[in-house]
Chains A and B, each alone.
Chain A
Amino acid sequence: MIANLLKAKPTTNVVTGKMEENQRNIVLEIEDVKISYSGEMAVKGITLSIPRNEITAIIGPSGCGKSTLLRSLNRMNDFVLGAKVEGKILYHGIDLYGKDVDPVEVRRKIGMVFQKPNPFPKSIFDNVSWGPIINGYKGDVYALVEKSLQQAALWDEVKDRLKSSAMTLSGGQQQRLCIARALAMEPDVILMDEPCSALDPVSTAHIEDLMFELKKEYTLVIVTHNMQQASRASKYTAFFESGNLIEFGETQNIFTLPKENRTEDYVTGRFG
């Protein structure tokens, strides 16, 4: 018993990112996660909680492990040769890397939007409908496609040409199509890996507006190295550096009253 008490971690530790008071509203709990590629440590023991119906931003310099962590949240790292995840990632209390857990099922619940828009070389309609169809969606597929495209603020632009190829869309439209595609799965969480980095400022603004809308229904985790985007869009921000979590807290505090010097250096552009 005493041993257990000694092992217990300090509560409300802002640096490790635990938020006990919101425990029930936590979707993903990342506990001491280490990720390595063929022995090379990319993420070095991170503990972090992702709150429900909020946007959590992960920021940090290139190669700090933010994308790696994000990809481990829906087991996309499974496809990287030699990738190894240690520690626990609990999704509503279920370890995503547990024995009984199937990665395919994980990805149905936790969707992802990638850095570069990657629509399938098929029609707009097929792009959105394919995911639900293969997963045995029984309802009205057309209605679902319409709803998803509307949620992604793309419906008005494409409603007259649902049968034309997704490749005919502009980059910003393609990215919104990819978001619609993720939404059609009615996921719980949507992970976004620098979703605007390949887009122009107008399209970026579109997508940021969209994220605000989406957080009413979904939990969003975005990785970005655009500081303005993090400060504009997110409620919470985690700052990573070389595989470590340096600071985690409300975005406002991170950008105005950072506790760590390194965070301050980075967010004010004095990094390096």
Chain B
Amino acid sequence: MISRNLKNRYLIAKIFHGFCFSVAWLGVLILGILLFHVTREGFPWLDMQFLTEFPSRFPAKAGIKSALYGTLWLISFTALISVPIGIGAGVYLEEFAKKNRLTQFIDLNIANLAGVPSIVYGMLGLVIFVRWFGLEQSVLAGSMTMSLLILPVIIISTREALRAVPNTIRQAAFALGATRWQTVSAHVLPAAFPGVLTGIILALSRAIGETAPLIMIGALTYVAFVPEGPMDDFTALPIQIFNWASRPQKEFHELAAAGILVLLFVLLLMNSLAVIIRHRLEKRKQ
């Protein structure tokens, strides 16, 4: 016998479940619409010419060569700077630091840095790297700014990966008379590597898509050459996309969509690479 009251309650429960269910898939739906929209607008413009031409006032002749090269330069140098520093900081905080006030302060500081708007990092890059260091609007200035921006992400994920390594491995190494660094470099870091790598890829993906800090440091919006060294001027994919999207003509909007497709493809490539490497590493351990 089910009372009337319970019947109502079951009805409410069903409605609530249905609501949560549909809302949860709303995000998936939106992603689908977004990808569909971008593909529909941009796909017709995607051809070899688009990849090998410099930007142009005439949509039919425009391409993203300089932006693509700029992004590659930027990301390579960002990785070179941020990865060693990020891993080093993570290792220090997780494996070496004593649990004292200073460590707590650094901890808190990193947590808060992760929440600082990217445009503020752009201000920092503008004043310090562009003006003081005299790096102008170079690849190097952009990379250093981006490195500061993604360092907290790398540090936090490195620490999480290190924390997940069982303590028994550390003890085993210590009991053999290993120093802390020997223990960490030979056993803990390799064991944590898949996790560390995921964090790095995630952080670099963020750097690839960031626009605001690059605009702040004055990265150019119209570049008809390819950077040949870290001190050269550059533009990047998201800046090129922003430039096209902010023009009123529909053709440029479609070019922006084509640029977005390239950007998303690069991101997809990086992420699948991470998945594959992770998979390999985890398999090898078995």
Is residue A112 contacting chain B, with contact meaning CB distance below 8 A?
yes
Which residues of chain A (120-143) have a CB below 8 Å from chain B? 120-122, 130-131, 134-135
Interface segment, one of B31-39, B75-83, B110-118, B167-175: B167-175
**Bound complex: CA A185 to CA B179 (Å):** 14
**Bound complex: CA A112 to CA B168 (Å):** 12
**Chain A proximity of B178: nearest CB distance (Å):** 6
8 Å CB contact of B174 from A81, A107, A119, A181: A107
Is residue A256 contacting chain B, with contact meaning CB distance below 8 A?
no
Q: Knowing A107-B177, A185-B177 are in contact, say whether A114-B285 is a contact too (CB < 8 A).
A: no
**Bound complex: CA A49 to CA B175 (Å):** 22
* Contact (Cβ within 8 A) A131 B286: no
Chain A residues with Cβ below 8 Å from B176 are 107-108, 111, 130-131, 134-135, 181-182, 185
* Contact (Cβ within 8 A) A121 B186: no
8 Å CB contact of B286 from A107, A119, A122, A165: A165
8 Å CB contact of A114 from B172, B177, B187, B191: B172
**Chain A proximity of B165: nearest CB distance (Å):** 10
The number of A-B residue pairs with CB atoms under 8 Å apart is: 71
Is residue B56 contacting chain A, with contact meaning CB distance below 8 A?
no
Chain B residues with Cβ below 8 Å from A116 are 168
Q: Which residue of A is nearest B174, CB measured? A: A107
Is residue A76 contacting chain B, with contact meaning CB distance below 8 A?
yes
**Bound complex: CA A264 to CA B257 (Å):** 83
Is residue B9 contacting chain A, with contact meaning CB distance below 8 A?
no
Chain A residues with Cβ below 8 Å from B177 are 104-109, 131, 134-135, 185
Chain A residues with Cβ below 8 Å from B179 are 104
Q: Which residue of B is nearest A168, CB measured? A: B286
**Bound complex: CA A111 to CA B172 (Å):** 9
* Contact (Cβ within 8 A) B286 A74: no
**Bound complex: CA A189 to CA B130 (Å):** 61
8 Å CB contact of B172 from A105, A118, A134: A118
* Contact (Cβ within 8 A) B187 A134: no
**Bound complex: CA A109 to CA B187 (Å):** 21
Q: Knowing A130-B186, A134-B186 are in contact, say whether A121-B175 is a contact too (CB < 8 A).
A: no
**Chain B proximity of A253: nearest CB distance (Å):** 32
**Bound complex: CA A81 to CA B178 (Å):** 20
8 Å CB contact of A76 from B171, B190, B191, B285: B171
**Bound complex: CA A146 to CA B284 (Å):** 24
**Bound complex: CA A104 to CA B116 (Å):** 42
Q: Knowing A79-B171, A118-B171, A119-B172 are in contact, say whether A134-B285 is a contact too (CB < 8 A).
A: no
Is residue B99 contacting chain A, with contact meaning CB distance below 8 A?
yes
Chain B 66-100 per-residue mask, 1 if CB under 8 angstroms from chain A, else 0: 00000000000000000000000000000000010
* Contact (Cβ within 8 A) A167 B285: yes
* Contact (Cβ within 8 A) B178 A104: yes
**Bound complex: CA A74 to CA B178 (Å):** 13
Is residue A28 contacting chain B, with contact meaning CB distance below 8 A?
no
Q: Which residue of B is nearest A181, CB measured? A: B176
**Chain A proximity of B236: nearest CB distance (Å):** 39
* Contact (Cβ within 8 A) A182 B175: yes
* Contact (Cβ within 8 A) B182 A76: no
Is residue A89 contacting chain B, with contact meaning CB distance below 8 A?
no
**Bound complex: CA A182 to CA B99 (Å):** 30
* Contact (Cβ within 8 A) A118 B186: no
**Chain B proximity of A102: nearest CB distance (Å):** 9
Q: Which residue of A is nearest B284, CB measured? A: A165
Chain A 77-105 per-residue mask, 1 if CB under 8 angstroms from chain B, else 0: 00101000000000000000000000011
* Contact (Cβ within 8 A) B174 A178: no
8 Å CB contact of B171 from A114, A121, A131: A114
Chain A 165-193 per-residue mask, 1 if CB under 8 angstroms from chain B, else 0: 10100000000001001100100000000
* Contact (Cβ within 8 A) B99 A81: yes
**Bound complex: CA A105 to CA B174 (Å):** 10
Q: Which residue of B is nearest A132, CB measured? A: B176
**Chain A proximity of B67: nearest CB distance (Å):** 42
16 A-B pairs whose Cβ atoms sit less than 8 Å apart in the complex? A76-B174, A79-B171, A107-B177, A108-B177, A112-B171, A114-B168, A114-B171, A116-B168, A119-B172, A120-B172, A121-B285, A130-B173, A131-B177, A134-B177, A167-B285, A185-B177
Across the A-B interface, the 3 shortest Cβ-Cβ residue pairs: A108-B177, A131-B176, A118-B168
Binding site for A on B (CB under 8 A): 99, 166, 168-179, 182, 186-187, 190-191, 285-286
